[in-house]
Amino acid sequence: MLSLIVFLPLAVAVVVAAVPSLGAAAARWAWVAVSAVELVLVGVLWAGYEDPGPNGLAFEEQVPWIPGVGSSYHVGVDGLSLPLVAMTAVVFLACAVYALRDGERPRAQTALFLFLQGVSLGVFVAADLIVFFVFFDLSIVGMYFVIAGWGHGNAARSALKFFLYTFLGSLALLLGFIGLYVASDPHTFDILELVAATPLEDNPLAGGLVLAAILVGLAVKTPTVPFHTWLPPAHTDAPATGSAVLAGVLLKMGTYGFVRIAMPILPEAWRGWAWVIVVVGIVSVLYGAFVALAQTNLKRMIAYTSVNHMGYIILALGAVGLIAGDTAQARSVAVTGAVVQMVSHGLITAALFLLAGVMRTRAGTYDMGAYGGLATPAPRFAALFAIAAFASLGLPGLSGFIAEFQIFAGSIAVAPVTAIALPGILITAALFLLALQRVFTGPTQGQSPGFADLHGRELWSVGPLLALSLLIGVLPQVLLGVIEPASAALVDLVGR
Amino acid sequence: MQMQPALLLPEIFTFLGGLVVLLGGSFLPRDRQWIARAVAALALLGAATAAALAMAGPAQTAFSGTFAVDTATGAARVIAALATLLVLGVASGEIADSPRESDTYALLLFATTGVMVLAGTTDLLVLIVGFLLASIPLYGIVGLTGGRSGAEAAMKTYLMGALSGILLMLGVTLLYALTGATDYTQLKDELPGAPAAAVGAGVLCVLTGLLFKAGGAPVHFWIPDAAQGTGVTAATFLTTVPKIGALVAIYRFVATISAGNETWLIVAAVLATASMLQGNLAAYWQRDPRRLLGWSTVAQVGFLLVPVAAVGRSDLALPSLLFYLAAYALTNVAAFAVTAALPERRDLTAYRGLVHERPGLALALLVALLGLVGTPPTAVFVGKLTTTTAAWDGGHSWLALLVMLNSLLSLFYYLRWFGPVFARPTQESATRRRTGGDAWAAATAGVAATASLALGVLADPLWTALATSPLL
């Protein structure tokens, strides 16, 4: 089942790429169809999901790959990965619908995005370090071609920077994985076996170094301060769908790596470094918020809010490593908040980037100063953008609130000092309100007159993303019921 | 103590094939030289089959213990034979119907025989024979196929080769004088007792000679010049096949000398680092794709030397080296074959927008270059992963770190090449007439790239075959 979900898009991608006679419309609809089928498959998965218990996986599949080096094709989902799998399927379907009318090289674009979808899902279901790495690395290659091939502005340069920077991250990650392999006895790359064995537990120095390598690798991808510098140019110059996938899905690979690999396999080192991680999280929250506040380019602003939002996740996960008294419950809440934030940020930011893409197709600029009073000619656009902005700044009733509330409730209970990051929420609120005011209110001026409102495919791509955010905000139990047992299990693993 | 020539069937096939091609070729009319090519291909296939069958049997020695027929030899034979077969595919386009066609094939086969001898020998004197047999035909190949610039390339190759050959023989003489033995088993026992400084000089001389064949620092300068100056057939061959024999020979030699003195493992690690850094940094601003590949092969030799630093300390060392060799041979041939299929594009800028003109070749190039970077799931990724793991397992975690840093360095210049290939079509590239190119080279590129991908995804059978037995 999981293999089907991962390899169906890859197989269709190969077919689409190999059949030159495929027309533009056929390619576009093939993409939508496959993404829709994927979403249905993930729905079936969700319906049949039962919590597998601590250090277990549901829908597990394992086939020997290179037994000689202790690596197997091992996949499975649990409460930490299933929500991300679902979010990935949703974001890719939204992109497929959004791109239905895009004119530029549709066949290649379809093949590339289906490829990206397959490898992204592969990362989230991998239960073997090498399988994880294979998909992780391929996602970078795929995104490089999306930015370089369909981007605008200084796309080639941004794509190069993205590739080099994130490749550095993936190599650091690989180094860490090799370290885990060498330290484990018997040697293995299997995540579940490594979690059970906790190698390097009695060697704090080596454990710290291996964790450092893995942290750097994941921090580049997440990205956290100070490894975030590739993100703004990559987002600014990427096409709308590319930005949506990059922010919505690819960034989650970093944060997901923390909960899947770093925390359960190296619990002792994680606890030892917890304060450093908390500080990095706080700095990312505040720095991302302040820099976003200073932007005049809308897309760049959204990109920096990603740094801010990822910072909350790092903060929460760091706090989980601070073992103090009877706080297991609070730490579990923090993990749940972090996972909800991954899902919520994926949905909301994908919507924001798709909306920013609409601005570019209509008026050719992301500069907020070039617009004014846009709500009059484009009320639907304004409404959706406002909902997305409010969701992003954490308004109750939308998913961002559920996430950030749990993150802070959990973190502050464990370490009150994490309250320093609270102003991040305020600044984010300010910057989104400021952006809404600059672009949508006041007299209709600049690029705004004649700005056509959202139509069918744009509405149908952005709308469902925000509807899901609303759903999570109103009925969080649908999501929390899946995540909470896994969070509690993770907290136990870190507390070992 | 017996000859057991049957154990040397692959070498015999290859060498006899060379003789038949050389003699028969003189009697074939110019337009029927393809027969010589077919004979050469048959000889290589026969050699590969015989070698593979021999791998299934028990490991043993031939010629009074001077030649080991074990997994390492078997793998090197198969890889060398199949890589040369692919080189024939590249050659079919470039030198078909040229005046020196069958001569070139014969030289390729002779050199391949030398490479096989180099890989299998466990005696310093036979090592010299292998070195000469692998080197002398190579000078001819470089000179024959390159035209005017080929002559210069041949001169440079010859001078470096002659110097390295002398150093190799000097080293062998020294070691023999110190220990009274040329056989590796005896050397292993005698070396620890010999004067360290003199042993060091002898070992370094031998290593220098072998590094020339491998094309590693510090005797690598001929590689980029030869790769750029000579024809693409010779360039493909000289950057691929000799390395196979040389690296297995280095592995055997280091296994011998490090038995009593583990400092040599550090020396191997330093040599690996030097090649990696030198090759990667020099490749940075190259504009000629073949020169760039030439430098990239220097860097690859560095990666290939990494498991040598873990000799005797990690079970992964030997299988990872052999696996990387197979992966590297396929991937490197694929990259060169792409340049062979586009002979008129001798500047990286000419590759801009290639995907719109030759999508198949562009894809093969992408697979090959991403493979050389070490991107999964290509075969080189498995090679790099296992060699790095072996180095760490062998106690050199810093070398693992350097491998990763160098992989990052290498990405930049490969990206300079394949990035523009997928760029949007420009006015110029849209109007460029689609040249016919060379179907044989293009097909070779496709086969090699596909194989390098398949070997990565389905790595297990080969890995199991390589990991079964240690060195003899």
Which string of b and e fits A161-175 if b means at least 16 CB within 10 Å?
Answer: bbbbbbbbbbbbbbb
The overall average pLDDT reported for chain B is 90
| pLDDT at residue number A202 | 83
What does the pLDDT look like over B63-95, one tens digit per residue? Answer: 888 899 999 999 999 999 999 999 999 988 788
Residue A137 to residue B376, Cβ atoms within 8 A: yes
A62 beta partners: A74
Query: At B424, is the pLDDT very low, low, confident or very high (cuts 50, 70, 90)?
Result: confident
User: In angstroms, what separates the C-alpha of B374 from chain A's closest C-alpha?
Assistant: 10
- For the cut 70, the answer to whether the pLDDT of residue A319 exceeds it is yes
- For the cut 60, the answer to whether the pLDDT of residue A221 exceeds it is yes
CB A250 within 8 A of CB A238: no
Closest CA to A181 of A168, A197, A167, A166: A197
The overall average pLDDT reported for chain A is 92
Query: At B427, is the pLDDT very low, low, confident or very high (cuts 50, 70, 90)?
Result: low
Could you give the CA distance from residue A145 to residue A159 in angstroms, rounded to a whole number? 8
Query: At A252, is the pLDDT very low, low, confident or very high (cuts 50, 70, 90)?
Result: very high
Q: What values do phi and psi take at A371, rounded to 5?
A: -115, 175
How does strand A71-77 pair with strand A58-66?
Answer: antiparallel
Residue B464 to residue A68, Cβ atoms within 8 A: yes
| pLDDT at residue number B344 | 85
Task: Tell me A249's DSSP state.
Answer: I
Question: 3-state class of B60 per DSSP?
Answer: strand
Sign of torsion over alpha carbons B394, B368, B37, B149: negative
- For the cut 80, the answer to whether the pLDDT of residue B18 exceeds it is yes
Query: At B3, is the pLDDT very low, low, confident or very high (cuts 50, 70, 90)?
Result: low
Q: Which two tokens stand for residue B452?
A: 């390098």
CA-atom Rg of chain B in angstroms: 21
CA B161 to chain centre: 16
Query: At A97, is the pLDDT very low, low, confident or very high (cuts 50, 70, 90)?
Result: very high
Could you give the CA distance from residue B41 to residue B84 in angstroms, rounded to a whole number? 9
- For the cut 60, the answer to whether the pLDDT of residue B425 exceeds it is yes
CB B23 within 8 A of CB B106: no
CB A235 within 8 A of CB A227: no
User: In angstroms, what separates the C-alpha of B369 from chain A's closest C-alpha?
Assistant: 12
CB B44 within 8 A of CB B81: yes
- The answer to whether A443 faces chain B, any CB pair under 8 Å, is no
What does the pLDDT look like over B101-125, one tens digit per residue? Answer: 889 999 999 999 999 999 999 999 9
| pLDDT at residue number B149 | 84
User: DSSP for A69-117?
Assistant: GTEEEEEEE-TTTHHHHHHHHHHHHHHHHHGGG--S-HHHHHHHHHHHH
Residue B419 to residue A137, Cβ atoms within 8 A: no
Could you give the CA distance from residue B314 to residue B255 in angstroms, rounded to a whole number? 12
Could you give the CA distance from residue A132 to residue A256 in angstroms, rounded to a whole number? 11
CB A440 within 8 A of CB A382: yes
| pLDDT at residue number B261 | 84
What Cα–Cα distance (Å) separates residue A175 from each residue in A257, B2, B79? 14, 48, 29
Residue B423 to residue A134, Cβ atoms within 8 A: no
Could you give the CA distance from residue B73 to residue B76 in angstroms, rounded to a whole number? 5
| pLDDT at residue number B147 | 76
User: DSSP for B127-138?
Assistant: HHHHHHHHHHHH
What does the pLDDT look like over B194-236, one tens digit per residue? Answer: 898 999 999 999 999 999 999 998 899 999 999 999 989 999 9
Residue A430 burial (CB < 10 Å; 0-12/13-18/19+)? middle
Across B386-393, average pLDDT? 94
Which segment of A230-234, B26-30, B78-82 scores lowest on mean pLDDT?
B26-30
| pLDDT at residue number B428 | 59
Could you give the CA distance from residue B187 to residue B66 in angstroms, rounded to a whole number? 12
Of B401, B422, B460, the CB nearest to A148: B422
| pLDDT at residue number B437 | 57
Which string of b and e fits A351-362 if b means at least 16 CB within 10 Å?
Answer: bbbbbbbbbeeb
Q: Considering only CB atoms, which chain B residues are within 8 Å of A141?
A: 370, 375
Q: Considering only CB atoms, which chain A residues are within 8 Å of B322?
A: none
What Cα–Cα distance (Å) separates residue B186 from each residue in B122, B203, B310, B469? 10, 15, 22, 22
| pLDDT at residue number B353 | 86
Sign of torsion over alpha carbons A61, A65, A69, A71: negative
Q: Name residues whose C-beta falls within 8 Å of residue A36's C-beta, 6 or more positions apart in sequence.
A: A93, A96
CB A115 within 8 A of CB A10: yes
Q: Which two tokens stand for residue B120?
A: 């299998």
Residue B423 to residue A148, Cβ atoms within 8 A: yes
| pLDDT at residue number A171 | 94
CA dihedral A15, A19, A21, A25 (to 10 degrees): 20
Across A82-102, average pLDDT? 93
Q: Name residues whose C-beta falls within 8 Å of residue A477's C-beta, 6 or more positions apart in sequence.
A: none
User: In angstroms, what separates the C-alpha of B134 from chain A's closest C-alpha?
Assistant: 33
- For the cut 90, the answer to whether the pLDDT of residue A1 exceeds it is no
User: What share of chain A in percent tops pLDDT 90?
Assistant: 75
Across A164-192, average pLDDT? 93
| pLDDT at residue number A341 | 95
Could you give the CA distance from residue A345 to residue A277 in angstroms, rounded to a whole number? 20
Query: At A153, is the pLDDT very low, low, confident or very high (cuts 50, 70, 90)?
Result: confident
CA A120 to chain centre: 10
Q: Name residues whose C-beta falls within 8 Å of residue B136's C-beta, 6 or more positions apart in sequence.
A: none
Q: What values do phi and psi take at A73, rounded to 5?
A: -80, 100
- For the cut 70, the answer to whether the pLDDT of residue B472 exceeds it is no
Residue A141 to residue B393, Cβ atoms within 8 A: no
| pLDDT at residue number A326 | 78
What does the pLDDT look like over A358-401, one tens digit per residue? Answer: 999 888 889 998 888 899 899 999 999 999 999 999 999 999 99
List residues of chain B with CB under 8 Å from any CB of chain A.
Answer: 316, 319, 359, 370, 375-377, 381-382, 385-386, 388-389, 392-393, 397, 400-401, 404-405, 407-408, 411-412, 415, 419, 422-424, 459-460, 463-464, 467
Chain A / chain B CB contacts < 8 angstroms: 77
Q: Where are the domains of chain B?
A: 1-261, 270-472
- For the cut 70, the answer to whether the pLDDT of residue A466 exceeds it is yes
